[in-house]
Structure 1
Amino acid sequence: MNSKKMDIGSKDLISNLPEALIGHILSFLPTKDAALTSVLSKRWRHMLAFVPNLDFDDEDYEDYNRYDMSPLKRLKMLTSFQVFVDRVLALQGNAPVNKFSLSCELGVEPSSVNRWLSNVLERGVLDLDLYVSLEDGYPLLLSQVLMSKTLVRLKVEGTTDFSTDVGEVFLPKLKTLYLDDLAFNDEGGAAFAKLTSGCHVLEELVMIDIVFYCDFFLVSNPTLKRLKVRLDFTDQKPNTVSFDTPNLVYLEFTDTVGAKYPKANFDSLVEANLDLRMRHYQDEDEPAGDSEDSTNLIMEIYNVKILYLSGATLEVLALCCKAIPIFSNLIRLTIDTHEEVQWEFLPKLLENCPNLETLVFGVLSTIHCKPWEDTRTCLSSSPVKMLKSEPADDSVDATNLFMGICNVEILYLSGATLEILASCCKAIPVFTNLIHLNINTHGNIQWKSLPKLLVNCPNLETLVLEGLNYIGTIHCKPWEDTRTCLSSSPVKMLKVLRFGQINLLEKVDVIDKQKEVIKYLLETMPNLEQVMIYYDTSFDDDPSILSTELQMLEKVASPKCKIQVISANIRFS
């Protein structure tokens, strides 16, 4: 039996697979790596001919370094790259191609790119992905590409100051068009209009860092469902922007605010993400917003169900919007408050959201709180059922990381890590083996995650808090809700390091606030046997006073607890 198993295990089972299946497997590798399999056996020598997806990237060369390369080495590497692409395409003959990806920053010759594109277009390529550095002014969107009857997806990335010419366009099957870092150099805007109108079934359009030399910019396509426009925040933009997209479902628009938006057809829009910013340079005698008007753009997204607004967009709406629509369908509103926000506009917006269910703030900053004092009337009638404050990036999830360290015996966490626990962890593991927990509380601390963490440390013996500075202690209020958690804590030793340490921006009375935290812990944690407080302050306070105050506490949860205050090698107990 064992010998049979050994015989089976020694067989080359992969080589016995059909050629088409092996080719499919190899298509998941960069073509340079797939080509290396040709040395495995005679049968594998020409297996690359059956790979339907081709991915050529000059960065795959081991000694590639675009920033440290002599002209001679650059020429040799470019020549080697071009020869390799030619050989692979010749090996494949007329075999169908699903995807052709070409990335070359070495400065490939236009004639080579023409030859390669003609080859895969004649073979009915479905997915074309181009990132090529060519001579300035050379048209990257070749006529053959724009007249392809088979392309379903087209992605074109250019380089800085790269201009694109558009001739005849007929892309009857193209559903996704992705343009990045390109310039349409016609002053009338006809080139881009011709490009989009020639895509008869286009569903998704992505435009990143596109440069227009015209004063008018129009996105028009009757079949478009998803549109993402993300332009640089500069003042060299078209003053007039229009959208004629009646079937658009999702819109993401990032730009400096335009002078006007004469047409905005969003009849089917469900979700919108707006990040608009004021122009940097304005006439000193002209009030902000007088030369820009975003009213029509905002009025035409009235039917969205999900709306995301950046803090800068609130400023644009406050200064450049003459009216706000009634968002009857809006059920979720997210405001990214990472920067200074025009809060005074938000009450007006909330009043016009009669069916809003969820209101989300990316980050809340205390410097913005004062304007809320005048919003009581508006908020008291708000239909919002759920209020959230969460990180701007919802994709951040540290759950698996913490689950993976659940067996540690000693754990050190920074204050920033506590914030991650509070904001980016769906669950906190049970640290069954943890006996020593050290938390650096020097800075802005998310105390609210600490109770949950302590509950999940059933055998914790030592808790160390490094610093209770003023910035941290302003968050002590959440401790009021931790009594149940702390009253069942098994911690026997509590150490507080850098007690009394403050920075120049803080007030003298922070020491009293830090005392309150320690008193609260002493009054709540029943299993404490020893508390060690390391006194470290620039003031001439007598540490013995703190020691006396703590010793005189009447409501200490653990009668057997010994308290020590340590300062410059002097202990008070």
Structure 2
Amino acid sequence: MEESKEREKEACQELPSRRDMISNLPDSLISQMLSCLPTKEAVRTSVLSTRWKTLWLLVPSLRLASHDFPDYNSFVSFLDKSLDLYREENSCLHLELVIRKDYDDDQCCVTRWIDHVARHKVKHLDVECILVKREFLEAVPLSLYLCESLLYLRLHRVLLVGSESISLPRLKTMRLEQNVYPHEAFLQFFISSCPVLEDLSIVRKDDDNVKVLRVHSQTVTSLTLGFEPGDGHMLYHYFDREILGICIDSPRLKYLNFNDDVSKCQILSSFISSSVKVHLGGVRYMSYYSGGVVFSNQQVARSFFRCISRVKDLVISETIMKLIYFCMKVEPLPQFCDLSYLEAKVCLVDVEMLPALLESCPNLNSIVLDLTRPTIITEQITAWAVPQCLLLSLEFVEIKCCCKAELVGMKLAKYFAENSVFLKKLVLRWRGYVLEEDSVLRDLLELSWRSSTCQIEVYGPLKRPVRV
């Protein structure tokens, strides 16, 4: 017993030295360890010992949010001291700030913080200002436009001031979100002044001083465009907002993500080639929902669809499908002769439009349908026309069903199975418990398949694959 207590005592005496073994690690390794911690946690290690007092400064990054501090002034004080402590040879190369001011008269500090890191060779800059009114937006300093070390830039709700000199020779990724610009010519100049820019994302505001967004770049490969209503704008203001123009001249573009109301954004000129993958997200609220009236901007929408009619890959949201449905009531869509892959979310009440949509895709090879919003569905699926792509080119079909849409999914599977001549694979997925995997597979096998070599896969709520 005495011997056991003696061993415990010796272990306790050795414990502090064991715990302090980490302090004997080289600075470079400790720096890597601290870089995995949130900035506030890394700073707290400075109280461990004299050895640790300044080790957190070896981490060349600051990631801070004002809501993690007792008040806004505490946040400002901490960030000011942190930036001052960074030595020039150990600059803050990575700065991420999420700023939410409590009052309109809170200190204006964003400009000087950006100026500080821009002059000290920052590589990654991410500044997000939450819920700041337009009249209180802080301006970016001119030094940012001449930051030759910058690789990544994200600016959210700030004011970009005009400048005749911009040099960002290393910037590859840029996110501009809900900012205000001096005029639309400046935004065009800003984008074109980034000679190696590859990934560009722009979220517009209706009061951002830009009517026609012009993206002229010889290097951009990925372009994301979106829209958020301006300050204090209710939905009815958004419905009536002015039609905005987009001009895209990016010959190396490979991916376009358009998350906006295409009915109110007209592409004035475009270089959207067949090699571009297009994702049409649409906005949650669109004016064609108003009163069920015929959509007032169908001509603009059809013009937009003509501009992207050469693409090979197209992903369509439910709201865009709704817009297509309204457009087709007036006249057929343009022919998407190069389209090989189509992915679409389809509200069940709009399922009946699919044959007409497929008529516009004569060379379609693959289609993925995501059925949404369970409701009453037409019983006329079996009487649908058979578009050209089912007879000549369609090889892959995937149908995803929301809960209570399983029976509609089965009808669609039957339609494709009985009419697709060259179908090689059909996949059916559902989340509800109305159907059982084995019975679904049995029902599918009993169909009169037009293709004799099609592989079948079914996935029920347990995601247990059943294949033939």
Does TM-score exceed 0.5, indicating one fold? yes
User: Which residue of structure 2 lines up, in the alignment, with residue 106 of structure 1?
Assistant: 101
User: 2:256 corresponds to which residue?
Assistant: 251
Q: Deviation of residue 299 (structure 1)?
A: 2.9
- The alignment covers a number of residue pairs equal to 386
Structure 1 Cα separation of the partners of residues 188 and 167 of structure 2? 13
Could you say if the C-alpha distance between residues 479 and 180 of structure 1 is closer, same or farther in structure 2, counting changes exceeding 3 Å? same
Among 63, 87, 90, the residue aligned to 1:93: 87
- Alignment partners' CA distance in 2, 1:391 and 1:23: 49
**Match in the other structure for 2:434:** 447
Aligned to 1:126: 123
Residue 300 (structure 1) aligned with residue 307 (structure 2): yes
Query: What are the Cα deviations for residues 212-267 of structure 1, in whole angstroms up to 9, with x where unaligned?
Result: 44442322222111111122483324433222222111111122213642212113
Provide closer, same or farther for how the CA distance between residues 315 and 370 of structure 1 changes in structure 2, counting only shifts above 3 A: farther
- 1:30 partnered with 2:38: yes
Structure 2 stretches of 5 or more lacking a match?
A: 1-6, 230-237, 403-428, 445-468
Change beyond 3 A, Cα 1:53–1:376: same
Instruction: Please list, as runs of the form range in 1=range in 2, the aligned pairs for 1:269-280 lying within 5 A after superposition.
Output: 269-276=275-282, 280=287
Write the deviation string for residues 508-538 of structure 1: whole angstroms up to 9, x where unpaired. xxxxxxxxxxxxxxxxxxxxxxxxxxxxxxx
Q: What residue identity is the alignment partner of 1:27?
A: S
Alpha-carbon displacement from aligned partner over 1:471-499 (angstroms, at most 9, x marks no partner): xxxxxx859869xxxxxxxxxxxxxxxxx
Q: Cα distance, 1:17 vs. partner?
A: 2.3
Shift of 1:126: 0.5
Change (3 A) 1:245 1:340: farther
Letter in 2 for 1:37: T
**Aligned residue for 1:183?**
180
User: In the TM superposition, what are the counterparts of 1:30-429 in structure 2 within 5 Å?
Assistant: 30-61=38-69, 64=70, 77-94=71-88, 95-106=90-101, 109-110=107-108, 112-132=109-129, 136-158=135-157, 163-168=159-164, 169-184=166-181, 186=183, 189-211=184-206, 212-232=208-228, 234-235=238-239, 236-256=241-261, 257-258=263-264, 260-267=266-273, 269-276=275-282, 280=287, 288-289=295-296, 292-320=299-327, 324-338=333-347, 340-341=349-350, 343-344=352-353, 346-363=354-371, 365=374, 367-369=376-378, 372=381, 375-378=384-387, 380-381=390-391, 383-390=393-400, 423=430
CA distance in 1, matches of 2:298, 2:440: 47
Equivalent-residue separation in structure 2 for 1:264 and 1:280 (angstroms): 25
Q: Which runs of 5+ in 1 are unaligned?
A: 65-76, 393-421, 425-444, 453-476, 483-573
CA–CA distance in structure 1, aligned partners of residues 304 and 125 of structure 2: 33
Q: State the Cα distance separating 1:45 from its structure 2 match.
A: 0.7
* Cα distance, 1:300 vs structure 2: 3.5
For 2:233, the equivalent position in structure 1 comes to none
State the identity as a percent: 24
Amino acid at match of 2:31: G
Distance 1:166 1:363, change over 3 A: farther
1:36-88 CA distances to partner (integer Å, 9 max, x unpaired)?
Answer: 00111211111022111111222223xx5xxxxxxxxxxxx323222211222
- In the aligned structure 2, how far is the partner of 1:217 from the partner of 1:353? 30
- 1:90 Cα deviation (Å)? 2.0
Which residue of 1 is the match for residue 235 of structure 2? none
Q: Distance in 2 between matches of 1:478 and 1:323?
A: 35
Cα displacement (A) at 1:130: 0.4
Taking a change above 3 Å as real, the CA distance of residues 387 and 351 of structure 1, as seen in their structure-2 partners, is: same
Note closer, same or farther for the CA distance 1:281–1:448 as it changes in structure 2 (3 Å cut).
Answer: closer
Distance 1:260 1:301, change over 3 A: closer
> Cα 1:314–1:29, aligned 2, differ >3 Å: closer, same or farther?
same
| Structure with the largest fraction of helix | 2
* Residues 437-461 of structure 1, C-alpha deviations (whole Å, 9 max, x = no match): xxxxxxxx53334x67xxxxxxxxx
Report the Cα distance in structure 1 between the residues aligned to 2:20 and 2:265, rounded to whole angstroms. Answer: 67
- 1:288 Cα offset (Å): 2.7
Kept in 2: contact 1:293–1:320 (CA 8 A): no
The one of the two structures with greater contact order (alpha-carbon pairs below 8 A, sep at least 6) is 2
**1:247–1:268 contact (8 Å) kept in structure 2:** no
Query: CA contact under 8 A between 1:251 and 1:269: conserved in structure 2?
Result: no
Q: Give the structure-2-normalised TM-score.
A: 0.71
- Provide the rounded CA distance (Å) in 2 between the counterparts of 1:231 and 1:238: 12
User: For the structure 1 residues 371 and 166, does the alpha-carbon distance in structure 2 shift closer, same or farther, using more than 3 Å as the test?
Assistant: farther
**Paired position in structure 1 for 2:234:** none
Going from structure 1 to structure 2, the CA distance change for 1:369 and 1:222 (only over 3 Å counts) comes to farther
Asked if 2 retains the 8 angstrom alpha-carbon contact of 1:53 and 1:98, the reply is: yes
Amino acid at match of 1:16: N
Deviation, structure 1 residue 269: 3.7
Q: Which residue of 1 aligns with 2:23?
A: 15
Secondary structure, aligned partner of 2:176 = strand
CA distance 1:45–1:339, change in 2 (3 Å): farther
The 3 A distance-change label for structure 1 pair 57 and 139 is closer
Structure-2 separation of matches of 1:237 and 1:20: 55
